Structure 1
Amino acid sequence: MIFVTVGTHEQPFNRLIRKIDILKGQNKIMDDVFIQIGYSTYIPKHCQYKRFISQSKMECLIKMSTIVITHGGPSSFIEALKQGKMPIVIPRQKKFNEHVNNHQLLFCKELQKRGFPIKVVISENDLYEVINDMQYTENKKFHSNNKRFNQELDALVKNMFNS
């Protein structure tokens, strides 16, 4: 199963939801797909969805999933990392009216540059290739050191906002 979450930000993230739904409708994604669509206005035709889910439901869906796709909000992709899954992260972008600025994009690029175990996808047009690579990768999990990760993430966030 593939789990997709767009979080609870009030701007739609139709670009991600539409792309996943199209890939599922074209049978390019064969797995079951569940999407947490939040305030998005695009309604999936080929995937199961719900606007909002509880934290416990999200944890359960991540655990059941072979692939986790999230927006660039840290709480969503950190939950996947906590469960030993390497998430595909698609940051919301201002130019698509998905957020008020590009902080998700900048933050995710910085994390990836520093070697954090996330796959950042900037364009939804690259999503299929990344999903396909993940489906054929034997080990979709990574071996994490959560304590070190959390310390480095905390230091990075403090550094970004104190400078």
Structure 2
Amino acid sequence: MIFVTVGTHEQPFNRLVKAVDELKRDGVITEEVIMQTGFSTYEPKYCQWSKLFPYQQMIKNVEEAHIVITHGGPASFIMPLHIGKTPIVVPRQHQFEEHVNDHQVEFARNVAERMGTIIPVEDISKLGEIITNYGEIVAGMGHGMTSNNKKFCDDLENIVDGIIK
């Protein structure tokens, strides 16, 4: 199963929701997809979805997922990391009116560069290829997240502090 979450930000993230729905429609994604669509206005036709899930259901979805795809909000991709997953992170972009600025893009780039624990996707046209090659990509990352949570959290806190200052 693939679990997708766009968080609870009030601007729609139709670009990601629609892209995943189309990948499912086109057979690029063959497994079940469950999406949390938030305030997106696009309603998936080929995937199971709900605007919001209770937090315990979110945890269950992440635990059961083969792949987790999130927006670039730290809380949305830190949870999968704590559970031992390597999330695909598609940051919301200001140019598409998905957020007020590009802080998610900058944050995802920083985490990917400094930590190497997420798979950032800024160009949505590459999402299908990344999903198809997910296993190889994760195997090549060698980040050992499941045995290094404290160091990751400390390093991530330093990154966040550095961005905020």
Shared fold by TM > 0.5?
A: yes
Question: How many matched pairs?
Answer: 162
1:159 aligned partner, one-letter code = G
Indicate whether 1:62 and 2:73 are aligned: no
If the length of structure 2 is used for normalisation, what is the TM-score? 0.93
Whole-Å Cα distance in 1 between the matches of residues 28 and 46 of structure 2? 12
SS of residue paired to 1:148: helix
Q: 4+ residue stretches of structure 1 with deviation over 2 A?
A: 135-143
1:89–1:121 CA contact under 8 A, matched in 2:
yes
Distance 2:138 2:121 in 1: 20
SS at 1:49's partner residue? Answer: strand
Structure 2's unaligned 5+ residue stretches are none
CA distance in structure 1 between the aligned counterparts of 2:108 and 2:23, rounded to whole angstroms: 24
Superposed, 1:91-106 pairs within 5 Å as: 91-106=91-106
2:91 and 2:108 map into 1 onto residues whose CA distance is 7
Percentage of pairs with the same residue: 44
**Match for residue 159 of structure 1?**
162
Q: Which runs of 5+ in 1 are unaligned?
A: none
Structural RMSD (CA): 1.7
Give TM-score scaled by structure 1 length: 0.94
- Alignment-mate amino acid for residue 158 of structure 2: A
* Residue-by-residue CA offset, 1:17-56 (whole Å, 9 max, x unaligned): 0010001011111000000000000000000000001111
SS in 1 for 2:133: helix
Residues 104-153 of structure 1 deviation map (CA, whole Å, 9 limit, x = unaligned): 00011011111331000001100000000015668599632111111111
1:121 aligns with 2:121: yes
Equivalent positions of 1:40-59 (< 5 A) are 40-59=40-59
Q: Is the 8 A contact 2:3 2:34 kept in 1?
A: yes
Higher helix share: 2
Q: How does 1:130-149 map to 2 (within 5 A)?
A: 130-135=130-135, 143-144=144-145, 145-149=148-152
